[in-house]
Amino acid sequence: MGRNERDAVAQPLLLRMVMVMAWFSAFLFTQVVECPIYVWALRNDSRHWGAKLVLAFGASASTHPIVWFVIPSLWMSAGQVGGYWTMVAIAEVFAVLAEAAYFWAVGLRRAWRWALVANVASAGLGFLCRSAFGWP
């Protein structure tokens, strides 16, 4: 394999690695913000606090990869209709609805409100931190 061929393989791989690291950083940030909100929402639930934490983690663990990888890919395939903020709005609405359904299924009252609070907090703080510190 010649240098050009190695570069052709290495560059997309490097780009994927950078994307995954950026996602992982944002994922951890999201968990740090959303898990305490969801654990608090489950405070009157009879489950052990460890089970509550697992439920809290599971909510955005199931939606975050879709928000980060799938929705932007679909948006780009659709010709970036409406601009970046349209894609962000679609992604956040998806996250709120999916997480609300997830928590409704486990019996959380007012699940959509908690999902809205958690996602507004994580997205808002995420954009604020990115603007102020360049992270996540």
pLDDT of 11 = 78
pLDDT of 80 = 87
The rounded distance, in Å, linking the Cα atoms of 24 and 129 is 16
The rounded distance, in Å, linking the Cα atoms of 15 and 19 is 6
In sequence order, what are the residues at sequence separation of 6 or more whose Cβ sits closer than 8 angstroms to the Cβ of residue 119?
Answer: 34, 92, 95, 96, 99
Q: State the 10-residue block means of pLDDT for the chain, 136 residues long.
A: 65 88 97 98 96 98 97 93 94 99 97 98 97 93
pLDDT of 35 = 98
DSSP for 74-121 reads HHHHTT-TT-HHHHHHHHHHHHHHHHHHHHHHTT-TTHHHHHHHHHHH
Q: Say what the pTM is.
A: 0.88
Segments making up each domain of the chain, as ranges: 22-133
pLDDT of 81 = 87
Question: Residue 11: is it exposed, middle or buried by C-beta count within 10 angstroms (0-12/13-18/19+)?
Answer: exposed
